[in-house]
Amino acid sequence: MTVDGKPTLGVGMVGYAFMGAAHSHGWRNAPSFFEDLPLVPRLAALAGRNREAAGAVAEKFGWGDVETDWRRLVARDDVDLVDVCTPGDTHAEIAIAALQAGKHVLCEKPLANSVEEAEAMAEAAEKAARSGVRAMVGFTYRRVPAIVLARKLVAEGRLGQLRHVRAQYLQDWLSDPETPLSWRLDKQKAGSGALGDIGAHIVDLTQYVTGEKITGVSAMLETFVKERPQPASFSGLAGTASSDGDRGPVTVDDAALFLARFAGGAVATFEASRFAAGRKNALRIEINGTDGGLAFDLEDMNVLQVYDHTEDPALAGFKRVLVTEATHPYLAAWWPPGHLLGYEHSFTHQAVDLLTAIANGTGPEPSFADGLRVQRVLAAVEASAAGGSAWTEVPG
């Protein structure tokens, strides 16, 4: 099938909630703005156990059909790529089955709930790649133009030898102890709490921007609220508590803090919390080197702060770079300079990059191997915290 003379790629998505909506937006908008896209995504089918809810999302974003079993979606002839937007406990089974069926895969982060699952996924992706089947993990913040520019500056040596890395991801949506339980607070489904949900992002971003691996950690985890109200039964009352007073255990961390060292010798601090009152989505990274520094804050996501340590000290200081020029990553496809991008644009960039890699027969990034690398850091953090913050090496 072709659209305007271009071949299409049938996309099937599993999951339809928050991430499902963000991914749908990205797939739908990619060909509208990136006119040189070599493949046109065709929204073939969406899978969700609740047909009514999935159907509403499908109608909203233009998905062609709805399945209530992900296995049927994977088996469809009109699905060439499977997009996995489900809780972490299902990632491995769905992604491996899709790869074995010869379908490309995009899997939300973190890649899995355990190193063992992530290893199996990376192995399946490596095997599938020999037949031209591609797999990518959805660390979407890599697609923020200011982050891509930061990576470019570091790769060019503009910061010199890296010394310090500081990374935070702060939210406050759990700070109310009466916020009801959800799958994100269940270790069986989520794998971990703030560590895997948002900490995984800053682990991946710092390794991406620095171009170096984290080699060891010393960590602590904390669960501030040990029990929460059971959620109300499904009736459009998501985010509300049951009226019968029943409470259940929180089995994941609310906050994760750790020290780390990078392969090149830089030292680092990481903090991930869903209890940082007043912080809604504050992902912050600062990197200092012998020749300069840079800083990024997702709540001001069109800006990169850059410092040149070689300038005259009398005039030197962090420079505010507005990353909206056509020469900046991805920006030529969007608006005139100074017209800002938002959270949703990174999902369009993600779709563009994956479609381009598939069309070119190249391995997309971040790969499942990159996802496995993050998973090993998360596992080392948990092991260190369990051992009283003991220094814990991250396997290569």
CATH of the domain at 104: 3.40.50.720
C-alpha torsion sign, points 63, 65, 70, 71:
negative
Distances, alpha carbon 70 to alpha carbons 13, 46, 76, 97, 99, in Å: 9, 9, 10, 10, 14
Asked whether residue 158 falls in the same domain as residue 120, the answer is: no
Note whether 63 and 45 are within 8 A (CB). Answer: yes
Nearest 10 degrees: CA dihedral of 323, 363, 81, 213? Answer: -70
Residue 351 lies in a domain: no
Residue 190 lies in a domain: yes
Please, what is the Cα angle at 336 between 330 and 342, to 5 degrees? 55
Asked whether residue 323 falls in the same domain as residue 253, the answer is: yes
Provide the pLDDT for residue 234: 43
Asked whether residue 267 falls in the same domain as residue 197, the answer is: yes
Asked whether residue 196 falls in the same domain as residue 319, the answer is: yes
Structural domain ending residue among the three candidates 141, 167, 194: 141
Note whether 91 and 21 are within 8 A (CB). Answer: no
Asked whether residue 155 falls in the same domain as residue 87, the answer is: no
Residue 357 lies in a domain: no
Non-local CB neighbours of 355 within 8 Å, separated by 6+ positions:
9, 30, 37, 38, 39, 41
Asked whether residue 182 falls in the same domain as residue 270, the answer is: yes
Q: What is the CA radius of gyration of the chain?
A: 21
Asked whether residue 115 falls in the same domain as residue 184, the answer is: no
Asked whether residue 50 falls in the same domain as residue 17, the answer is: yes
Residue 358 lies in a domain: no
- Rounded-to-integer distance, Cα 179 and Cα 264, Å: 42
Note whether 280 and 171 are within 8 A (CB). Answer: yes
Where residue 68 falls (left for φ over 0; alpha for ψ -120 to 50; beta otherwise) is alpha
Structural domain ending residue among the three candidates 141, 174, 205: 141
Non-local CB neighbours of 148 within 8 Å, separated by 6+ positions:
142, 329, 330
Domain span at residue 29 reads 2-141
Nearest 10 degrees: CA dihedral of 370, 371, 374, 376? Answer: -100
**Domains in the chain: how many in total?**
2
Distances, alpha carbon 46 to alpha carbons 43, 156, 354, 390, in Å: 8, 42, 19, 45
Note whether 283 and 201 are within 8 A (CB). Answer: yes
Asked whether residue 209 falls in the same domain as residue 325, the answer is: yes
Structural domain ending residue among the three candidates 115, 141, 167: 141
Residue 261 lies in a domain: yes
Asked whether residue 137 falls in the same domain as residue 151, the answer is: no
Residue 347 lies in a domain: no
Residues of the chain below pLDDT 70: 233-244
Structure tokens at 121: 């996924």
Give exposure, 280-294, as e/b (b: 16+ Cβ within 10 Å).
eebbbbbbbbeebbb
- Rounded-to-integer distance, Cα 368 and Cα 360, Å: 18
Provide the pLDDT for residue 239: 61
Asked whether residue 190 falls in the same domain as residue 110, the answer is: no
Residue 360 lies in a domain: no
Asked whether residue 217 falls in the same domain as residue 287, the answer is: yes
Provide the pLDDT for residue 242: 60
Residue 284 lies in a domain: yes
